Structure 1
Amino acid sequence: MTQKYISDKEKRLSSCDESTLITDFETGEIFCSNCGHVLSERAEYSGPEWSSFSHDKINDTGTGSRTSLAKHDQGLSTIINTADKDVSGRPLSTTMKKTLKQLRILDRQSQIRTSGDRNFIQAFGKLHGLKDKLALSNIIMEKAAYIYRKAVEKKLVQGRTISAMIAASLYAACRDTKTPRTLKDIAQASNIRRKEIAVCYRLIFQELELKMPVIDSIQCIARISSRLEITEKTKRHAVKVLKQAQEHKETAGKDPMGLAAAALYLSCAKNGEYKTQRQIASAANVTEVTVRNRVKSFKLDQNLKL
């Protein structure tokens, strides 16, 4: 995580006048260090461009993209420039233009030699589309690309759709980095059935022997409350309820988003904020039945101080 001072534009979005923002580049969230309000779920890289080094000085002009696992060639292949000009800026002759056009075609064809290359081009194209829809960071993209490459190496993609496998790899990357993106979020963004992604995820989990950390439902509170503009006092009470539930093993085997939604609903009722179960369920991307059942289980537990 890194800290930065709040700007005039961001100050208008935050409820605090004097504060600093904390940027978590792993989850892609920007939040206030004082009240915990999430200003954005998508953090942009604000550092210098990828630079070249010459004469012991940094050249800040762009020199191409970094190597990345989320590219079919990992960003290592060369590209013939499309500008038909020589080093002096003068236009090339007609014969030379035709020659360069043929060389570009051959260069492009040489980069896609096998079916695996075509597979990666299609898969990583879909992955970048999901990144924009779900506002994910580059770290999660690299992790998802790594998992997908391992799945291709193990021949797990054969007989299954590329879209479902890349969506399952992305969900596995979100689970591994503790990024609050549910299976339903990814299913809606990818326009694929949730059940199909779940089957592919279980296959990847078992065959690659992944060790996934348990998602903490407390991390989901900030995301839900930011969508509903819930006060900090209510959020803190919801966190307190979830911590008590975790101590008494009430959260074991239950959906983290559903638990966070139920805790926020109870906290809103206690602090006089009018939020219906439908509103909270919609913000958490779960059903009203899930919220109702979690609320009922919390109320039945006499150890919880609601």
Structure 2
Amino acid sequence: MELPRRRGKSLSYQYHLQEKYQDKDKQVDKGVKANYSSNAFCHSCDSNWMIFDGATGETICTNCGTVITDRPTILEGGPGSIESFGNSVSLAFPDKGLSTVITSANIDASGSILNHDQIQNVNKIRYLDKVSNNNRTQIRNLKNAFVTMAAIRDKLTLTDPVMERAAYYYRKTLQNKLIKGRSIREMVVASIYASCKEMEVPRTLCEICDAANADPIFAGKCYRTMARELRLSPLIVDSTRYISKVADSACVSQKTYRRAVEMLDIVKKHAVSYGKDPKALATAVLYAACIKENEPKVSQAKIAAAGSISVVTLRKRFSDILRIIPRDTNRCA
């Protein structure tokens, strides 16, 4: 880093400042190591020069900037340490990701092959470890629950924070012995539904039940029991979050979608929207926006099916919206 020479300062002082700034740049780049790899190469530019960032665990090509490998790291000795690698700790695992896994390879830490007596002792240790993990009722319950939770997550594309919160709620129900006499699948659905409401994720109980192949009525009972015993007070999901979902299902234009968002902001400020289902309200506002913008091939049945509500509910909410936003006279509903 070159610095301009200042008047009144000696040349040695200028060199001192230059070395100072160079040391500062080296401290910023601490943890990033450049090396030449003969095995790994970039698939974009076929370069063998890589940079490994110890803070993020990424191997980056120095030529084009492509990330070659990306793996999670557990850093123990600071940002520049790469002593250990592994999965992160999560409540969505039965053992929270803290258990020790005994491999099936019959070798020791130095790579030497074990003899016959040592192999028998290791097999006994493996058997005892397997029995101790599967012999407890709570561990078996968590394994079955988290397998179901992972399947629901893949079908509904839920995020990691939502699943972490759902796993926390399920562990609390298991700790308070609320799972006795109830189905594991329905309690998992109730936990995910409570997590979605807390995180303001627009997922209904019926959608989660369809993904888990569970009974909505019994899942609703489990959710009410969980909310009562754990004293949950989740917020109501904002109706604005449902508009994009319903608009995509109904295949309306972007202009109509923006008009619906503007109309919904006006409707939410009025007392008519108080106590109404946010999904039904968003669907009715979208239908009103379709009429305002003369959206072609739009019917009440199509919009109601996109919003997963009945036509009767759509008509009731639409009549409430007409009190605030009058309908155009050149188009009938």
TM-score by length of 2: 0.70
Amino acid at match of 1:295: F
Amino acid at match of 1:304: I
Offset, 1:187: 1.3
Aligned residue in 2 for 1:101: 123
Aligned residue in 2 for 1:137: 159
CA contact (8 A) 1:258 1:294 kept: yes
CA contact (8 A) 1:185 1:285 kept: no
Indicate whether 1:304 and 2:325 are aligned.
yes
Q: How does 1:233-272 map to 2 (within 5 A)?
A: 233-272=255-294
Amino acid at match of 1:141: M
Amino acid at match of 2:320: S
Offset, 1:200: 0.9
CA contact (8 A) 1:184 1:285 kept: no
Distance 1:81 1:168 in 2: 36
Provide closer, same or farther for how the CA distance between residues 88 and 240 of structure 1 changes in structure 2, counting only shifts above 3 A. Answer: same
Distance 2:253 2:84 in 1: 43
Distance 1:201 1:123 in 2: 16
Aligned residue in 2 for 1:292: 315
Question: Which SS does the other structure have where 1:57 is aligned?
Answer: coil
Distance 1:281 1:62 in 2: 53
Aligned residue in 1 for 2:212: 190
Provide closer, same or farther for how the CA distance between residues 117 and 298 of structure 1 changes in structure 2, counting only shifts above 3 A. Answer: same
Amino acid at match of 1:278: A
Amino acid at match of 2:73: W
Identical-residue share of aligned pairs (%): 34
Aligned residue in 2 for 1:278: 301
Name structure 2 gaps, 5 residues minimum: 1-68, 328-333
Offset, 1:95: 5.5
Distance 2:78 2:150 in 1: 36
Structure with the larger RCO, 1 or 2 (CA within 8 Å, 6+ apart)? 1
Provide closer, same or farther for how the CA distance between residues 135 and 103 of structure 1 changes in structure 2, counting only shifts above 3 A. Answer: same
Aligned residue in 2 for 1:18: none
CA contact (8 A) 2:93 2:146 kept: yes
Q: How many residues align?
A: 258
Distance 1:103 1:305 in 2: 76
CA contact (8 A) 2:87 2:97 kept: yes
Aligned residue in 2 for 1:51: 74
Structure 1 residue ranges (4+ consecutive) displaced by more than 6 angstroms after TM superposition: none
Indicate whether 1:70 and 2:92 are aligned.
yes
Question: Which SS does the other structure have where 1:214 is aligned?
Answer: coil
Provide closer, same or farther for how the CA distance between residues 56 and 205 of structure 1 changes in structure 2, counting only shifts above 3 A. Answer: closer
Q: 2:188 aligns with which of 166, 177, 180?
A: 166
TM-score by length of 1: 0.76
CA contact (8 A) 2:76 2:84 kept: no
Max Rg structure: 2
Distance 2:191 2:106 in 1: 41
Name structure 1 gaps, 5 residues minimum: 1-45
Offset, 1:63: 2.3
CA contact (8 A) 1:151 1:157 kept: yes
Give deviations 1:119-172, integer Å, cap 9, x for gaps.
Answer: 111111111111111110010011011111111222211111111111101100
Distance 2:78 2:145 in 1: 40
Provide closer, same or farther for how the CA distance between residues 268 and 97 of structure 1 changes in structure 2, counting only shifts above 3 A. Answer: farther
CA contact (8 A) 2:173 2:226 kept: yes
Provide closer, same or farther for how the CA distance between residues 88 and 191 of structure 1 changes in structure 2, counting only shifts above 3 A. Answer: same
Query: RMSD over aligned Cα, in angstroms?
Result: 2.5
Distance 1:293 1:96 in 2: 76
